Structures are given as structure tokens and as C-alpha cells.
Structure 1
Amino acid sequence: MVYEGKPSTGCYPCRKRKIRCDEARPNCRHCYVYGRPCPGYRSDAIFRNESRKFERLAKKDASSGSSDSSSSNSSPPKRQAQPPARPPQASALAVYRVADPTWEHRALCYFFDQYTTPAEDEGGVAHLEYITSLYARYGEGSPRAEVSPSACLRWAVNATALVTLAHVAHAPPLMIKARQGYGKAVRSLRAALASPDQVANDETYASVVLLSLFEDITGERDGLFGSHTAGLELLTKLRGESQLRHQLGREMFIFAWAQIVVEILALGGKTRCNFDWAMGMLDENDPVESLMLATTRLCQLFISLQSAPNPPDQATLESWIAACQESDFELSQWTLYLPDHWLPLVVYSAKGEPLLTSHRISNAVIRGCYRAVRVILQQQLLNLNHTLISINQKNQQSGDPAPVEGKFDEKSVRSVIREMIPDMCRSMPFWLSDVDTLGRPKKPSDNWRPVRAAQAYGLLWPLWCMISCGMPTPAQMQQMSTVLLRGGSSLGIKLALILAREAERIRGESGLSEIPVVGPKSSRNIMGDGVCTF
């Protein structure tokens, strides 16, 4: 007998579709996504007694042979060559080809694998995990698909999945299908927003989230502003406090909140509604929600700065500086009360280079966002101090040789930025799954898993804030721009390429050196000022 290899131990639906089964317990991820019960898995070795089957086949062949012989006796013999008899086991071992899954199904599996990540354990942070449960409830092929209150969720998921795979596989036909699905999703969303029964439900809200993600993957923002952020903001206000009373609503709120904060802090946008109603419902003892509270208060401060009369007087500037310093103190205290499993781990690579890792990748993502917020706040402090010095110089009496000083020593502010940037660079190899928690390079033979697109997506805006602040060294600039290029080319997130070009333009207009453009697979090894390679 010829050994044909070890049979697959996956569940029957995955084996039928010829896709890799993760064999999770109690249900595999693909069955969970499609909303179907998982039948379980077969064991490594399967023993079957095929004796009776072959007996039946042999008797059938014998009976057919006897009937043939009887019929031949009643007719004249013919000298004609007969084909050789087929062995009885041939029909028992016949192999039937299973139809390959459609591109739409492949796109769905790829999207759910790359952009939806469950919390690693209790207290961890998930990314769009609720999309899988909603799609399983109301998506294509689910029992409720035809009675779903809105079809916009199904179209939004399908369109985003298709565009994700189209960019990675460089498949223009999939891109055409994705844009057709996007148009259907927008039309369905308009109908849902016009319906009082559907406007504030979870499916409608999740559809806007997905269309916002679609826009980032295609890189088709309005400048750097998202065209769906206003819709997210207004729907968040409409859904009100009830959305924070259950886990699904809180996860949706966190994604929308992050989009709004980016536009206020990183792009200088204005809010269309306030989140005062949510402040009292966030848990100060939870690391993520306590950071959200501090950042929300900072957003309120930035909005008040934008709405103030221009130019401000000296007293107003001094009050703004004091408020920013108070906010910075609050943010600095956030790191002091983190649980032990949230603290970064200082490890060393095989070459003795320092790296920062964490017990969970989601913790590293949150820390990266924290560093970006701190950098933005330091920049605001420097701008306010420079404006105050300029006003004091104008008010200084002519002939007074005394130098005009600001409200604080700028060296301490700049030192915070110079601390945040190297820490970000040292964290990126772990963030991108290039090394494990101990700093060891991951290899395909070591249960290696490449970076998920969700991890790279979480890096985009923090990296852009670091690059555009004007203080990274050339080596740090090279590493961060390489990561953005990697997210745009290898993972198909076009927003990453746009942010890299925009940061280069800002630095060029400021008279600073341009961002070094390097390939996404550069292996240059620079570690002297907090630069890590992959």
C-alpha cells in the first residue's frame, strides 16, 4: 500500500471547502464566521473495516459476470477482445473533486483573519471582533440574512473583504467587485439612516465602521480627514449611554472614539458633538478606559484652544500652558498605575540590541497610542510657549537687553519627545510580530505567524505623529517610514503610503531633511538611537 500522507484533522466543512482549519475548540473560526455549527474533528488515525464493503462489491461483480455469461450462452459467440475486468476496489477508492471556494469566500476568510482579532485573554483588547458575530447573525448564508433589519452590514463586510484581498493579491477584477459592493452598502446605509427603527442599531453602526475602514484601505480620505467620521460621531451621540452598558456597544464606541480623537489631536479637526455624557461611564481603573478619559479631556482642551479669539493675550496663553501642563501630568501618571502585565519588558536581541516587548500585542498597541498623544501634547506646549515669547518680545520696552523667557524650560519638553520616539522604535519589532516576547526572531518553523493587518493599521497614526513632529533622527525616520511602506505594499493599506508622503511633504516645507525612502524589506541594522530592524 502506498502511503498518501497524513489525512487532514480539520472539521468536515473546512475539508470540503479545501481551506485550512484552525481546529479551535469547541468550534473552528470559519464555522463561527459563517454562523454554522462545527461538527468537530476527526482523530489523527482512522481505522475502518472495509471487509463487508469489498464482499458486497465482489458479489455484485460476480452476479454481473454470471448474467453476462448466461446472456452470452444464448447468443452466438463473437471473437472480440473484451476490456480487462475492473478491480472491485476501484469504485470504493474513487476520488471526487470538491469545488474550490469562491473568491468572495476567500476574501471573507482573509479579512476576518487579518482585521478581526479577539482579545488574547481576559482584560485584553480586541479589534473589530464584533464584526464576526454580527455577520454570523445577519450575513450571507445565515438563517437571519433574509429577515435582517438592514442589508448594509452584509454589503459593507463583503466590499471591505474584497478590497482587502484585491490589494494584497493585485487583482483588479476583485477591486471592481469591491467598489460595486461599496456602492450597494452606501445605498443600503442611506435607507437604514432614514429609518427610525434602524438608524441606531448595531448593524448600521458597524456598517459605518466598515466603510470607514474601506476608505483607509483604499486611501481615499478627503485629504487626511475621513468622510465617515462625522457619521460615526453623530451616530455615537444618537446611541447615547445605552451603548456603553454592554460589551458589544463598548467595543464599537472605542473604535469610533479613536477615529474622532485622531482628527482632533493629529489633524486639528473640530468635533460635532461632545462626549461629556460618556465621561462618567468610563472606568478609571481600566487601563484602556482611563487613557480614554485623559485623552478625551485633552481633546476638549484642544477644541477650546481652537475656538478662542485670535490672537490671544498673554494671560490667556499662560492659562492654556498651565492647562496643557496639567493634562500632561495626568497622562504621565497613567503609566504609574498600570497592572504588572501591562508593563513593557526590556529584552535584548541576539546582537545585544535593546527591544521593548509586552505580554500582549494589544498592550503594545495601546502604549504606542499613548506615546503619540504625549508627543502631540509636547508639540502644543512648545507652540504656545513660542507664541508667548513672541508677545513678550513685542511688549518689551525698546533698549531693554534682558532676554525674553517663556513660561517653562523647553529642554524638559523636548526630552519627553526624545524619550517617546526611541521607545516607539524599540517596540515596533514586537508590534509587527517580527520577534517574540523574549526578543527572539520568529521563524516559519517556530509556530510563526506573520503580522496581521490590524496590528499595522493600529501603527499608522502614531507613526505619522512621530514622523511629522520634526524631531526623529535620520535612522529613526528610516525605520518608521519603512514600516509605513511595509503596511502599504505588503498588507495593502494605502493610507500608510499617503501618510508617509504627507509626513515627507511637511518636513520638506519645514526645511527639514526628507524622509529616506527605502524598500519594505530593508534589512539594514541600526540600533544606536533606538532604531530596531525587522
Structure 2
Amino acid sequence: MVYGGKPSTGCHLCRKRKIKCDEARPGCRNCGIYGRPCPGYRPDGVFRNETRKVERQAKKIIPPSNSQSVTPDSQLPIIFDRHSGSPSSSSSSSSSSLSLIHMADSTWQERAVCYFFDQYIINPEFEDGMGHLDYLPGLYTQLNRGKTASPCLSWAVEATALMALGNVSKAPQLITKARRGYGKALSSLRGALDSPTEALQDETFASVVILSLFEDVSGERNGLYSSHTAGFEFLMKLRGEGQLNNRQGRDMFNFAYAHTYVEVLALGEKPRVDVDWILDQLDKEDPIERLMLATSKLSQLFLAMQATPSPPSIDTVKKWIRLGQECDFELSQWTLHLTDRWLPLVVYSAQGETLITYNRISNCVVWNYYRAARVMLQQLLLSLNRTLSIVIMKKKRPGDPPITKSTLEETSLRAMIKEMTADVCRSIPFAMADVDTMGRPTIPGKFERPVRAAQSYGLIWPYWYILSCGMPTQHQVNLIRTVLYRIGTTQGINLALILAREAQRMHSDVNSFQAPPPHIGDAVESSPE
């Protein structure tokens, strides 16, 4: 990534409307006249992906025969995978033995930040509005120019960038330096949270976002629980409704909210702050926020069940079943209000297997969250149906007339679980860029739609939901688990490796595990068992 020439300095909305911006601060007057809040200006630093240029440099360099001891700030060796264009380890090299690339006037810290920005920042203008951390370059640039007081975000970005690059390049020196930066970021964050003014700043909230990402890239959660969930909950409550008044604040809130409810839904954790007031602020016209609203109702049902004394009454269980059915209906309606660009496409591989593709990988990520939520809800309804039968039987006295034991048709619930699980598996080849939108095999290194680390990161938890909550066949278990290993090794996200090993432990079939062929599309089942 290098400076890409002088870009337009107008605000985002004026550039989108293709009109001249007056560039007033903090927001331009044209947006006010237009009746919209000014979304702000592009960052001062503009990056361009030059991974392939670096790749060509690497091919011209002969790896040194003997590795030399280097310090974290020196010219650390690195190789780039010729297929993915991403740094990776060589099968013939040791974990720290990499080929040397000389890049003038560039430290490894700067290179790591460029790699991190390329892999984890997604511009929403190119992904149907689904950006990821696109506000970060602007905040980071301001920090490095001394426009803000707290260095917390700078430490967090650089530590996470070094960890990400260190993992994919198998460079322990970078990982060691990343851990030191993480410690400094945490220390700085504590100071920012103690300050009434700094705690409310976007830079502080963004720091928690990036530090939570560091935790997942490094694979250092407390079991499967994030140590930053409490920080998210504290800041969401502290910042109040005002955080949703601009896109930057809204994007940070969406990340934090999703991060928090991963633990509520997948791990049964109870949130420590009431955010019901936020739900009224979500945009029902936005597909992602509408899905967040529907899944929030599911988590509210979980919490209501946890708060009820045991054993529940028959009427209470029936109420839960009714609420679960209403939530499932609302989730099913989510698919009916999507534009054509959001809808999945059913295609066939060269071997004749049914595959599911999308307009963009980011759409696939959101759809898999939807499917995982449907699976969890069907499992909940199955459990409630059994609970109702047990409660009724316990209330029945000798001589009482027969009582209907359950209210749900379990066959349809199980069929929905199998359908959702199969659809997740059918979408894996596209999600991993093994096939294009039409289901044709891709040529490594020549595909115009490479998988970004941010997109792979978004796929991890839906895959875990399906493994832990669904009814996958053994083939599907092996398939999803292999994909988690693949994300962990090629993208350097260690959380994926941890979840893959946990899935292996859960299913207790270490000896039966067989990895599918390189093109996962060849191994996808066309229908569940």
C-alpha cells in the first residue's frame, strides 16, 4: 500500500452526489441544505493495495542460506504466498526463517499496519453498504499527527497489525512485539476510561474494538469468553443514543453489539447492561440492523427463561414457545425484504453438487448469521417442547384424562435445522473463494474476489453455531471444521483454530477426521442425511 496521489478532499456525500463540496468543518454546508448530516471527510492518508508488487519483489530475491538473529524493528524476513498474495510460511522454512524483502524507508511496524488495513478494512461503498472498520484510517491518521491526546488507539492498531502479520508470516519476533504493544494499549485504555472526556471519544471506543480483534487474532480469549465484552457494555451505555447519530459511531456500536451478543447466544452469557433502548434506534430498512433486531428478541427470550424460577409452570413454557414462534416468524420475514443484490443464487459445481453463491462474500457472512440464528431457535423450540411434555407429565395425577404432551411438530423443526445446516455448507466454496458466483472453480491468484481476513473473521462464529447447535452429519462436521482450520492458518486468526479444536473435542471423533480435497466444493453434500 502506498500513497495513491491527491484525491478529492470533499465529504463522502458530496462525492457520492458528484457536486463540489465547500469542505467546511466539522461538516459541509451542502449536506445541511440537502437535509442530511455530513458523513465527514476521507482520511488524509490514502492507501493502495500493492501486494502483488511486493510479491514480484519477493520472487526476485533468493532466500538466505542461514537465518540471522534480528530484532523486532529490523528487516525481518517474510515471504508472500503466490496464490493468496498474503504473507505465509514456507513448508521448507522454519517458523522464523523467511526470505528478506528490502523496502526503503519502511519499518515492519508500518508494513504491518498496511497489511492490517488491507485485510481488515472494507469500504462500504464496494460491499453493498457493509463496511468493516472503514473509519479507522482517519482516526489513526489523526493520532499520528498529534491531533488527539490519548495514544491508546495507536498502540492498539499497531499491536493488532503486528499480531496479524506475525501469525500469517510465522514470525515470532513480530508476535513478541505485538504483545508488548497490547500491554501498552491496555494501560493507556485504563487511563482513557478514567477520564470523563476521553471515555466518550470515538478513539476510546475504537480502541476497545481493535483490542477485541487482537484477542481473537491472537486466540487469547478466556476460554471462549472475551475479556472486552464488559468494556463494550460499559461504553455503549455511557455513550447513549448520541453514538448512533453518525455513521462512524453507528458502525462502532454495531460491531460492539454483535460482539456482545455472540456470547449471549452462543455461550449463554447474560449481558450486564440493558440496551433495550437501543433497539428502537435500529434502522429497520437496513438488512443488517433488521437482522440484529430480530436476533436481539431471541436473546431476550433466552434471558427471560434464565430469570424464571425452576421448574416453570405449564403456562410459562407455553408462553415461551409462543414467543419463540413469533421470533422465528420474524426471522423468516427477514429474507422477504431483501433487494435482488442480497439474494443467494443456487448453482451447480462441475461435479454436479448444489452450491449457493452471492453477489459478494460479505452478503454470505450475513446470511450465515441468519441461518445460525434460525438453527439456534429451532433447537430452543425442540427443547421447550420436551420441557412442556415433562412438566405436563409431572402435573398429571392418577385418573386424570389424557393430556396433550406437546404443541409443536418436531419433524418440521428438525427439517429446518438440517436445511439451514446444509445451506451453510453449500455456501462454503463461495465464501472461501474456491468458486465464483456461477460456481466455476477459481484459479488461485487470478480471482478478482479474494477473501479478506475481515470476511473470514465474520464467518467464524456462524460456523461454530452450526457445529455446536445444529445437527450436522459427520461429513458436514469435517467440512466446517476444516474450513475453520483453513481460516486460522491462511488468515492468521487463531480463534478459528481454537474453535476447530473445540469442535473436534465436542464430537469426540479425532480418529475419524478426514480433511476434504483442496477445492471444498468437491466435497459438499447436495442434501443432508
TM-score range, shorter chain: 0.7 to 0.9
**Cα distance in 2, alignment partners of residues 420 and 471 from structure 1:** 10
1:499 to 1:113, Cα distance in 2 relative to 1, 3 A? same
Give 1:351's aligned amino acid: Q
SS at match of 1:199: helix
| Residue number in structure 1 paired with 2:388 | 388
**Cα distance in 2, alignment partners of residues 215 and 442 from structure 1:** 32
CA contact (8 A) 1:372 1:466 kept: yes
| Residue number in structure 1 paired with 2:306 | 306
| Residue number in structure 2 paired with 1:325 | 325
**Cα distance in 1, alignment partners of residues 397 and 510 from structure 2:** 41
Deviations 1:33-89 (A, max 9, x none): 9834789x9xxxxxxxxxxxxxxxxxxxxxxxxxxxxxxxxxxxxxxxxxxxxxxxx
In the TM superposition, what is the alpha-carbon distance from 1:505 to its structure 2 partner?
A: 2.9
Give 2:44's aligned amino acid: G
Whether 2:435 is the aligned partner of 1:435: answer yes
CA contact (8 A) 2:426 2:526 kept: no
In the TM superposition, what is the alpha-carbon distance from 1:22 to its structure 2 partner?
A: 7.6
In the TM superposition, what is the alpha-carbon distance from 1:364 to its structure 2 partner?
A: 1.3
Deviations 1:195-253 (A, max 9, x none): 11100110000000111111111111111110001101110111111111101011101
Structure 1 segment 72-471 matched on structure 2, within 5 A: 99=104, 101-121=106-126, 123-139=128-144, 143=145, 145=146, 147-398=147-398, 405-444=405-444, 446-471=446-471
Deviations 1:471-499 (A, max 9, x none): 11111111101100111122111111111
1:138 to 1:346, Cα distance in 2 relative to 1, 3 A? same
| Residue number in structure 2 paired with 1:61 | none
Give 1:306's aligned amino acid: Q
Deviations 1:318-359 (A, max 9, x none): 111111111111111111111121111112222222211111
Residue 35 of structure 1, aligned match among 44, 62, 74: 44
Taking structure 2 as the reference length, the TM-score comes to: 0.78
SS at match of 1:346: strand
Residue 527 of structure 1, aligned match among 520, 524, 527: 524
In the TM superposition, what is the alpha-carbon distance from 1:368 to its structure 2 partner?
A: 0.6
Give 1:342's aligned amino acid: W
Unaligned runs of 5+ in 1: 1-12, 15-20, 42-96
Q: Structure 1 stretch 230-239 or stretch 521-530: which is displaced more?
A: 521-530
| Residue number in structure 1 paired with 2:38 | none
CA contact (8 A) 2:237 2:273 kept: yes
Give 1:495's aligned amino acid: L
Q: Structure 1 stretch 339-348 or stretch 446-455: which is displaced more?
A: 446-455
Deviations 1:383-425 (A, max 9, x none): 1111111222223345889696312111111111111011111
Deviations 1:140-167 (A, max 9, x none): xxx3x3x422100000000000011111
Give 1:238's aligned amino acid: L
**Cα distance in 2, alignment partners of residues 490 and 227 from structure 1:** 25
**Cα distance in 1, alignment partners of residues 352 and 430 from structure 2:** 16
Q: Structure 1 stretch 151-160 or stretch 405-414: which is displaced more?
A: 405-414
Give 2:109's aligned amino acid: E
CA contact (8 A) 1:485 1:519 kept: no
1:177 to 1:246, Cα distance in 2 relative to 1, 3 A? same
1:445 to 1:237, Cα distance in 2 relative to 1, 3 A? closer
1:200 to 1:488, Cα distance in 2 relative to 1, 3 A? same
Deviations 1:485-523 (A, max 9, x none): 111122111111111222233334xxxx56954458745
Q: Structure 1 stretch 460-469 or stretch 273-282: which is displaced more?
A: 273-282
**Cα distance in 2, alignment partners of residues 212 and 515 from structure 1:** 34
SS at match of 2:346: strand
Deviations 1:410-445 (A, max 9, x none): 111111111101111111221222222222222146
**Cα distance in 2, alignment partners of residues 362 and 518 from structure 1:** 28
**Cα distance in 2, alignment partners of residues 24 and 360 from structure 1:** 29
| Residue number in structure 2 paired with 1:488 | 488
**Cα distance in 2, alignment partners of residues 483 and 187 from structure 1:** 36
Q: Structure 1 stretch 225-234 or stretch 297-306: which is displaced more?
A: 297-306
1:516 to 1:221, Cα distance in 2 relative to 1, 3 A? farther
In the TM superposition, what is the alpha-carbon distance from 1:453 to its structure 2 partner?
A: 1.2
**Cα distance in 2, alignment partners of residues 480 and 122 from structure 1:** 25
Deviations 1:252-282 (A, max 9, x none): 0110011111111111010111222212211
SS at match of 2:455: helix
**Cα distance in 2, alignment partners of residues 37 and 408 from structure 1:** 56
**Cα distance in 1, alignment partners of residues 348 and 218 from structure 2:** 37
Q: Structure 1 stretch 117-126 or stretch 181-190: which is displaced more?
A: 117-126
Give 1:118's aligned amino acid: N
**Cα distance in 1, alignment partners of residues 302 and 228 from structure 2:** 22
1:240 to 1:466, Cα distance in 2 relative to 1, 3 A? same
Deviations 1:449-470 (A, max 9, x none): 5321111111111001101125
1:410 to 1:519, Cα distance in 2 relative to 1, 3 A? closer
Give 1:313's aligned amino acid: S
CA contact (8 A) 1:321 1:385 kept: yes
1:112 to 1:518, Cα distance in 2 relative to 1, 3 A? farther
SS at match of 2:130: coil
Q: CA RMSD in A?
A: 2.8
Taking structure 1 as the reference length, the TM-score comes to: 0.78
In the TM superposition, what is the alpha-carbon distance from 1:137 to its structure 2 partner?
A: 2.0
CA contact (8 A) 2:260 2:271 kept: yes
Give 1:380's aligned amino acid: L
